[in-house]
Amino acid sequence: MTRIRELDALRGFAVGGIMLVNTWQHTAKEPRVGLDWTIEALFQSRFYPIFSLLFGISFLLFLRGNSRWALLSRLFWLFGIGLVQHTFYPGEVLTDYAFWGAVVLLPVSFLVGRVPLLVLGAGVVAIVVAVRMGGGAQIIPGVFLVGMGLWRLRPSRRLLLPGFGVAALATALLTAEWASTDEWWVYSVAALTGAAAYALGLLLVLRPWLSAVLEPLGRMALTNYVSGTAVIVLATPLLDADPTRWSVVGLTLATLVVQFLGSRWWLARYRYGPLEWIWRSLTWFRPVPNRLESGRDHNRPLPDPGVS
């Protein structure tokens, strides 16, 4: 199955943003400094909605050539990987993704091909309800549905620019309102519109050189997310000892550079990242081919049990 490079680039962008926010969340934030406000106002809660949207899309891509039983196996093993990660990082979301994938996306997959607009609307309603209940990870199933609905409807690319403009303006207004009122629901909505602005903005400015940087991170998203979490846990004493919080930015950039170089090196030799390969092999209860043959275009892997 041919990779969809824009989705890989978006996924890589989200992985980088999640690394920044998760690193910051593991710091002692007293006394607060300007960098705390900047990350909270501009970055926190902006990237996992993008990742959730892409998860809903990848759900449908997997079903192009695989059964729902295979998909259920895939979600089961994702839940298991999440449980392992949970032992050293209680804030992991892989178990949430696997659970909501099985409970929400699997049954809805029977409907989305017939009534995609209804699925999109249901996703929006679910997000509104989740925001009223406090937001956070509760928005994940709604964003899943929005991703599925949008992928089926395939809106025109001509909507990218006006969509970005509306999302960016809404984010600016809502962020200013949150700064003056400290209302949590305002912050949650600003985070969602901010996620939309970042995603649409990236698609507008995406060029081959930028895509070449982001795609390797996105193609090995699971490996990079889990390894990034391990780096954060190990570096927590260093982060807590830095009152300026600039170690957050330094650690994030250093980790992403290493992950980019490592991902690029690995994908020049293998079709899937280490954890991606393990996940696929567990899904199918057998080792799947991974090493690239000489001269094969690594953007066009062999028929494959799923798209990460």
Q: What is the pLDDT of residues 95-151, one digit of tens each?
A: 999 999 999 999 999 998 889 999 999 999 999 999 999 888 899 999 999 999 999
In this predicted structure, the answer to whether residue 286 has a pLDDT above a threshold of 50 is yes
* Calpha distance 98→81 (Å, rounded): 10
Average pLDDT over residues 258-267: 98
* pLDDT of the residue at 307: 39
Q: Is the pLDDT of residue 155 over 80?
A: yes
150: enclosing H helix or E strand: helix 140-153
Tokens standing for 33? 């400094």
Please tell me the total number of residues recorded for the chain in this structure. Answer: 308
Average pLDDT over residues 171-184: 94
- What is the reported pTM? 0.92
Residue 224: CA atoms inside 13 Å, Cβ hemisphere, count?
34
Share of the chain above pLDDT 70, in %: 94
Integer Cα distance of 150 and 122 in angstroms: 12
% of the chain with per-residue pLDDT over 90: 81
pLDDT at residue number 2: 61
pLDDT at 303 over 80: no
Identify the bridge partners of residue 293 per DSSP, sorted by sequence position: none
pLDDT at 294 over 70: no
Structural contact between residues 276 and 217, judged by C-beta atoms closer than 8 angstroms: no
